[in-house]
Amino acid sequence: MAVPDDPSMAGWYRYGPAPGSARGSAVLVGHVDSESGDLGEFLALYDVRRGDRVEVRRAGGEPVHYRVVSRVTVPKDDLPPSAFRRSGAPVLTLITCAPPYDPERGGYVSNLVVTAEPVESRPAGNGRAK
């Protein structure tokens, strides 16, 4: 799985479902920062908590919305296989680097894995369901 060089961009794991799919785990990966010191789009994941809302904007499609159900930090070599499943209930899995940072080991030694379930888009108008 390749992470985009540009820290402002997220990458999609193309061997799994896309965000908004009816089944499986749609995986997006991104950086928290870069070697030049630029902050990455996925730095915001450090502050996300259970119940927070996530919006994924898709080229050529309507945004899809999710609600965070879990977050876990794991060693880089221990990403859960369930994060890459192609069947079962739909989820969004967001993966980024997590401290500690060890330059002798090539950078961050852990990953933050955030899992979110789909939610209906907010209705137009006053925000109340009709």
Nearest of 86, 96, 82, 89 to residue 41 by alpha carbon: 96
pLDDT score recorded for residue 72: 96
Asked whether the bond before 123 is cis by omega within 30 degrees of 0, the reply is: no
* pLDDT tens, N- to C-terminus, the chain (130 residues): 778 889 988 999 999 999 999 999 999 999 999 888 889 999 999 999 999 999 999 888 899 999 999 999 999 989 999 999 999 999 999 999 999 989 898 889 999 999 999 997 655 544 443 3
The pTM for the full model equals 0.88
Amino acid identity of 112?
A: L
Domain at 11-119: CATH code = 2.40.260.10
Token pair for 9: 């961009």
| Residue-wise pLDDT tens digits, 69-103 | 999 999 998 999 999 999 999 999 999 999 998 98
pLDDT score recorded for residue 121: 62
Domain boundaries, the chain: 11-119
Residues contacting residue 118 through CB under 8 Å, at least 6 positions apart: 20, 64, 65, 66, 90, 91, 92
Residues contacting residue 21 through CB under 8 Å, at least 6 positions apart: 90
